[in-house]
Amino acid sequence: MVRTRPYKPGAFDLGPRILSRKSKVMREHDGQPGKARKQVLVVEDHEETAQLLTIILEDEGYEVRRARKANEALSICCTLPATDGESRAPQPDLVLLDLTLPDMHYTEMADRLGECQETAPPVIVISALPDGNVKAAAKTIGAAGVVRKPFSVELLLDSVNEMLAW
């Protein structure tokens, strides 16, 4: 579907998906006791967009953590393992990254993410910037995928599910 309207925060195509139905990922997870759910970190400064992404991903069976700024995301991703016996939150399996964060340029964030982990999680860029800019930015940081705002739920979930195949 080609969109001709300009992007408005909160204007997303929910398509035919019914958010209350149990997803394939969740059904598969239910049948595997003790298996941890995949972790997705949503790095998005627009609160309504972050909430929508959280609802969609949690409905799909993923555990979601959110960060409004790059520094918050880095503190989640770059924490050292606890040495005092306390457990810490698991590292994310995937990062959904908005390119326009208020505290850091996306290239610096991607560089720092790569420096703090032996194996950095894959990144899917989510942005409303012009298409050419988004693709160039994604290539620059080695992102595994791109989802353009406004996004369809199906496209978002196809991208996430592909990266986090059970």
Q: What percent of the chain has pLDDT over 90?
A: 62
Residue (of 166, 160, 162) closest to 58 by Cα position:
160
**pLDDT per position as a tens digit, 57-110:** 999 999 999 999 999 999 998 875 555 556 566 789 999 999 999 999 999 999
Half-sphere exposure of 31 (CA within 13 A, CB side): 6
Task: Check residue 82 and give its pLDDT.
Answer: 54
Spatial distance between the Cα atoms of 123 and 76, rounded to a whole number of angstroms: 15
Tokens for 51, please give them: 């909430």
Q: What are the backbone angles phi and psi of residue 140, rounded to the nearest 5°?
A: -60, -40
Q: Can you point out the beta strands (E) in 9-157?
A: 39-43, 63-67, 94-98, 123-127, 145-148
113 close to 95: Cβ distance less than 8 angstroms? yes
Whether pLDDT at 2 is above 80: no
More confident: 133 or 20? 133
More confident: 148 or 32? 148
Task: Check residue 46 and give its pLDDT.
Answer: 96
Q: What is the mean pLDDT of the chain?
A: 81
Whether pLDDT at 19 is above 80: no
**pLDDT per position as a tens digit, 23-45:** 555 445 454 555 579 999 999 99
Task: Provide the pLDDT confidence category of residue 1 given band limits of 50, 70 and 90.
Answer: very low
More confident: 140 or 11? 140
Q: Which domains are present in the chain?
A: 36-79+89-163 (3.40.50.2300)
Task: Provide the pLDDT confidence category of residue 53 given band limits of 50, 70 and 90.
Answer: very high
Spatial distance between the Cα atoms of 112 and 110, rounded to a whole number of angstroms: 6
Spatial distance between the Cα atoms of 109 and 97, rounded to a whole number of angstroms: 10
Q: Which H or E element spans position 64?
A: strand 63-67
21-30, 77-86, 111-120, 129-138: which has the minimum mean pLDDT?
A: 21-30
- List the beta bridge partners of residue 13: 152
DSSP letter, residue 104: S
Task: Check residue 119 and give its pLDDT.
Answer: 80
